[in-house]
A and B are shown apart, each in its own frame.
Chain A
Amino acid sequence: MSLNLKHDFSVKYNSAKLNTQKKTAKMSHSSSISVNNKMSKVRSISSEDINNATKKPGYSLLSIVFGLLVGFVILGILGINPLIFLTGLFKGSFSDVRSFGNFLASLSWLLPLGLAMVVSFKSGFFNIGATGQMMLSGIIGWLFAYSVSGVFLGWFWAMLLGVAAGTLLAVLIGWLKLKFGINEVLSSIMFNWIVFFLYKLILAQPQFSNEAGGTLPILAENSLRADWLTDLFPGSTINIGIFFAFLALIFVWIMYRYMPFGYKTSLLGANKDAAEYAGVRVEKRTLQTFALSGALAALAGSIFYLGVKQALPVVTDNLPTEGFQGITIALIGFNTPMGAFGGALFMAMLVTSRTLISASMDGNIIDLVQGIIIIFIALSQYFIIYDPIGKARSKKMLSLPEKIRQKDDLIENLEIKKTSINKKSISKQKHSYIARQENIFQLKMSKINANFFVINEIDELVRQKDILINNLKSQDLSSEAFKAKKEKILETTELKIAKIVENSQKDILNYKEQIKTEKLTAKEEVQKLANTRKEENKKLTDQIFELKIQLKEMVSKEKQIQKEGVK
């Protein structure tokens, strides 16, 4: 499925540029080289991705399961037993012959609708206008089938006219895209509403409408219903549209598998540059794709309105959701015809059970579940295209040369780590040594200071003693008294000196011890650092050694493989 908005805008942008540059030259918008240059830069979802997607239908199933689960949760919150919904899904389609007939009837218009989306997605367009094409086909077909009688094969002409009208609408959208660069999504949305009001215009005509607000039923001779089919599934809405649906399926399947037309149009979606260089006429194929997609959607519309409903049913003020079911089908079927068949089976189940479910709960749950499924499929595209899981897994599974390169890198890293560790620890050692030495130096300084302090104190005391003795001399004392006093002074000074020395010795011893411990710790620290360094070195060298052995083995293996390859 291709994201073509980006392409469109780039096309428009560039074509606009070109138009201003070369007003006289008639340039086709989608075939200019500058467009392609810009295109190639943009990563669009290519056919490779689509192929990728075809390998992973599990995502579709998972999305359906998740969608149903979320629907269940919402129902549970609203206070409704979700199991009723689940059983209703199966009962509505497979409980008896009538409901199975209805199931086939739903399938008959859902299948071409899904195929219409597959065709447009495969070529990289988004035909969101399927709703409008369906309704237009219904309107034209109804007008014919209601008013014209007595024509041979009336139902066929009604259907043909409807399909022609829907096809023309789709071609108009394609033409607007090619000629004016109008994005097909935007124009389709607008056309959907234009056709919607046309539909309402028909409903508003008093001669056409019934009391319920819908139109009167078509003439029985122009109906798509066949008596033998209705007898087979009595009471159901089954009609011969189911055969057209399967014809369409077979046609589209053959077209993409065996016909050059299918290949060429799918190339458009895969890679527009490549398609153009390969000689695909882009404009022609674009229009053809739109025509085919529109025809299929219109076929779905004819079957829906002329076969199933037999009239134009009443509508609300919003677009009918029937046309959008094609998107779900194509997405569930990962854009392949056969996948769309599976998607249509599932959607037919949902749509058919709507009447049964509406009896016990609101039928809008179907649209809700459908919307949630679309969201989940859109999310799963991310896993398919960008493949985050695969990327994570592929990192683990490497080829031999890649492994060798990885090992080599690892060894290099380890060696770098080793040297850096050594450098770091050596510098650490230096720093710690210097710090310790500083400490020791300071301690020594303080020890010396303490010594100086003691000497100073003693000096002071001696000086005081001398002063005291001199004082005694001047006081003129008798020799005995003088002697006694002198001795006293001498004693006290001695005592004081002894005290000071005692004190200071304690301090100095303290300092000495501190210096000793400091020296010891410094030694220990250095040794510790050296030891850890040695240990780490040993570990790393062991690791590197082991890795080198492994590397050798791998290299020899690779050589062997190469030799075998040569042989």
Chain B
Amino acid sequence: MFISWLGVFIVAFSAYLLVSTGGLFSEKSGTVNIALDGMMIMGAFTYGIVLTTLDSTGENAGMQYVALLIVPIVGVLFSLLLAVSTVNFMADHIIAGTALNLIAPAFAMLVLVMGTEQDFVRWGLYDVVPGTDNFSYHFFAFLAIALVTFAIGYFVLNKTTFGLRLKAVGENPNALAAGGVDVNKLKYAGIMISGALAALGGAIAMPIFANNFLGNVRGMGYMAIAIIIMGQWTMLGILGGTVLFSTLMAFTANYVVFFPQEAIPKQIFEMLPFVLPIVTMMIFKSKQGPSALGQPYNKEQRN
């Protein structure tokens, strides 16, 4: 029971931490990224396809790390769609993000259904027997990847020139531009980092879906947005939100074990991650996200 809980917890924790760290990078650079879900789907999808082509027999467990190396590249490419439309063409971030969220699952399912036969059944669940304990020692590698990425992200965002400039773009891009910094480049960087990390998170979240990838990641991308809101746009807040959300997720995944009678419906607990950010926003209304969040930056415009 505990092992099964721990397995889901570790995987969810790693995935949420990666995705919300990536999301924070784009939010800090002033881009509202509601396409995190779509990016995760693209990551998970790429991971599955790459793994199936690299290791069709399911014997070479090392191949999943090769797949994890390729996944961020696809994530960056996919996020470029958002970057081009929001940065260069000044499109509304929500509209572009919604479009990406529509495209990703549709594309994934289209390729899965129409593409080369039905051999996308294996998704790299090495050492895992779905339904029983659902635990693999590879999960610790995922955890290490997530924690190292988080630490690097923390350092980059708070201690390096690049990170400080990135945060300044989200607050006042015009001031930065007056200082001679290329704002659009930084915005691109923020979105591309979020694309890479979200795709990586989507790939790592794969064991949760346990051989049943249906072109979605069960709203984990949206939950990552909720984590960012609950963390009030800080790295440590994100860490806290991630712990909370992955605990909840591990709990709902093993719901039958904890509540054999199902006195309280499972869906109530699944709702909780979406109720909490609203409550958080109602309580902490004084502290908010970057002030230039969601605004297109136009060089020609006087401010």
- What residues of chain A lie closer than 8 Å to B152, measured between beta carbons? none
Taking CB as reference atom, which chain B residue is nearest A318? B216
The answer for the CA separation of A160 and B34 in the assembled complex, in Å, is 33
A-chain residues with CB within 8 Å of residue B99 when the two chains form the complex: 371-372, 374-375, 378
Whether A371 lies near B222 (C-beta < 8 A) is: no
Which residues of chain B from 242 to 297 have a CB within 8 Å of any chain A CB?
Answer: 265-268, 270-271, 274-275, 277-278, 281-282, 285-296
A residues adjacent to B (C-beta < 8 A)? 1, 3, 5-6, 8-10, 12-13, 15-16, 19-20, 41-43, 74, 78-80, 126, 128, 176, 180-182, 185-187, 189-191, 193-194, 196-198, 200-201, 204, 316-319, 321, 324, 327, 331, 361-362, 364-368, 370-372, 374-375, 377-379, 381-382, 385-386
Interface of B is mostly: helix
Interface residues of B in 77-115 (CB under 8 A from A): 81, 85, 89-96, 98-103, 105-107, 109-111, 113-115
Q: A191 — which chain B residues lie within 8 A by C-beta?
A: 274, 278
Task: Please list the 7 inter-chain residue pairs (A to B) with the smallest Cβ-Cβ separation, ordered nearest first.
Answer: A5-B294, A318-B216, A371-B102, A367-B106, A371-B103, A378-B91, A374-B99
Q: Could you tell me if B91 and A194 are in contact, using CB atoms closer than 8 angstroms?
A: no
Determine whether the beta carbon of A374 is less than 8 Å from that of B107: no
Q: Determine if B235 is an interface residue (Cβ-Cβ < 8 Å).
A: no
Chain A residues with CB under 8 A of B195: none
Q: Which residues of chain B have C-beta atoms less than 8 A from A316's C-beta?
A: 214-216
- Say if the beta carbon of B168 comes within 8 Å of chain A: no
Inter-chain contact B91/A382, CB cutoff 8 Å: yes
B32: interface (CB < 8 Å): yes
Judge whether A364 and B113 touch: CB under 8 Å.
yes
B289 touches A375 (CB 8 A): no
10 A-B pairs with C-beta separation under 8 A? A5-B294, A9-B290, A43-B298, A128-B94, A185-B32, A194-B274, A197-B270, A324-B102, A371-B100, A378-B85
Chain B: how many interface residues by the 8 Å CB criterion?
64
Which residues from B are CB-within-8-Å of A187? Answer: 278, 281
A367 to B41, CA, bound (A): 15
Task: Tell me the minimal C-beta distance from A52 to chain B in angstroms.
Answer: 15
Known: A182-B281, A317-B214, A370-B102. A126 touches B94 (CB 8 A): yes
Whole-angstrom distance between the Cβ of A96 and the nearest chain B Cβ:
27
Interchain CB contact under 8 A, B113 and A9: no
Cα A126 to Cα B98 in complex, Å, equals: 12
Smallest CB-CB separation from B296: which chain A residue? A3
Contact (Cβ within 8 A) A189 B281: no
Task: Say whether B271 contacts A9, CB under 8 Å.
Answer: no
Task: Verify A374–B277 contact, CB threshold 8 A.
Answer: no
Contact of B289 among A9, A128, A370, A382 (CB under 8 A): A9
A176 and B229 alpha carbons, distance in the complex (Å): 15
- Cα A191 to Cα B274 in complex, Å, equals 7
Please give the distance in Å from A50's CB to the nearest CB on chain B.
13
**Cα-based distance from A319 to B282 in the complex (angstroms):** 25
Provide the bound-state CA to CA distance between A126 and B281, in Å.
18
- A317–B282 alpha-carbon span in the complex (Å): 28
Tell me if B161 is interfacial: C-beta within 8 Å of chain A: no
Residues B274 and A319 in contact, CB atoms below 8 Å apart: no
Q: Which residues of B contact A386 (CB under 8 A)?
A: 90, 298
Q: How far is the CA of A304 from the CA of B98 in the complex (A)?
A: 22
Which single residue of chain B is at the shortest CB-CB distance from A10? Answer: B291
